[in-house]
Structure 1
């Protein structure tokens, strides 16, 4: 009896190892890869526009440059309100791209929610039995990320098309996107790097070409 139990245990461990190896050498479909990279590029470009708005293109910073230029040329300074208004107009073409990218990401997000119904990119539940702590954490991170993304997209659309009375509170919520996006990017890139260097070698190759580069 003990011999059978031991044999069954060894068989179970063997099957678990096979499953683990299959997961580690998983190949990604063309739909998965295209959608993954379109979403990734959209997020990166959105992050760039946010970064510019908060740093070099920040309205007070640009207004100060305008005032300094006028002073150097011997022109009278603009009223502070007008200088800030001019600064906003200067950065508007850049910020228009943020809005366009938001529309693109909204479309991609809707596609991402739809493709699991066609057998692609199914969401993984952190409540599934038998998951280790690391896998549960990964699943939770992605669920929270998608939830935060939904909030960002909805608030962005309300800012653009909703009642003006809602614009200010929606902007306050929408601006929090920077923090979850930055946090997710750090976790995601860090996780990919660790996986590539340890237990999941070839991950980057598979997400680019669909198969592991030997």
Structure 2
């Protein structure tokens, strides 16, 4: 199979979306590890103990959440950026760029059908993540908790997609589509 020639628009969108996802994952990773409210709370509690001061655990957790809030705001900003990029991505096929591939075409092999199907599932999952994130931030407060439950699941499809995507790209690079990586970077066919 021949390596396609990726347009400048395709490459820019691909890498902007990829960077956005990586930065979103970084904020999630920080929130789950070093900036976890309990870890930050433990640091505050130890500091207060050394100073012979006292706050309740609930007060310490509130303070910990305030400390990590500026970092978490970046998750929200990158989420808004991804909403914009995703919207542009959905509009690009109307301008002849980045057309969506149909996995139900009759004249394609099963591997290609799988690849096209994975992308469709990915875009649907991204839509659910973005919509649930927007409802968390901008929607009615009575939906916040249920939307957070849905939104938290985003990390699982995203990590799975990254593994499948990178695995597929590497498999293609080392088998039938040599040069695909450099082509997505430079746009030149190898």
**Same fold, TM-score > 0.5, yes or no:** yes
Q: Which residue of 1 aligns with 2:31?
A: 53
Residue 127 of structure 2, aligned match among 136, 147, 150? 150
Q: Which residue of 2 aligns with 1:83?
A: 60
The structure with the largest alpha-carbon Rg is 1
CA-based RMSD of the aligned residues comes to 1.1
1:70 aligns with 2:48: yes
Q: Which residue of 2 aligns with 1:190?
A: 167
Q: Which residue of 2 aligns with 1:116?
A: 93
Decide which moves more: 180-189 or 76-85: 76-85
What is the TM-score when the length of structure 2 is the normalising length? Answer: 0.96
Q: Which residue of 2 aligns with 1:173?
A: 150
SS at match of 1:199: coil
Separation of aligned partners in 1, 2:60 and 2:168: 44
Separation of aligned partners in 2, 1:93 and 1:144: 32
SS at match of 2:99: coil
CA displacement at 1:66 relative to structure 2: 1.4
CA displacement at 1:193 relative to structure 2: 1.3
Q: Which runs of 5+ in 1 are unaligned?
A: 1-19
1:31 aligns with 2:9: yes
SS at match of 1:171: helix
Give runs of ≥4 in structure 1 deviating > 3 Å: none
**Which string of whole-angstrom CA distances, capped at 9 and with x for unpartnered residues, describes residues 137-187 of structure 1?**
111111111001001111111111111101110111011111111111111
Q: Which runs of 5+ in 2 are unaligned?
A: none
Separation of aligned partners in 1, 2:138 and 2:91: 24
1:102 aligns with 2:102: no
Separation of aligned partners in 1, 2:174 and 2:24: 29
What is the TM-score when the length of structure 1 is the normalising length? Answer: 0.86
**Which string of whole-angstrom CA distances, capped at 9 and with x for unpartnered residues, describes residues 63-117 of structure 1?**
112112222x242332111111111111111110000001100000000000001
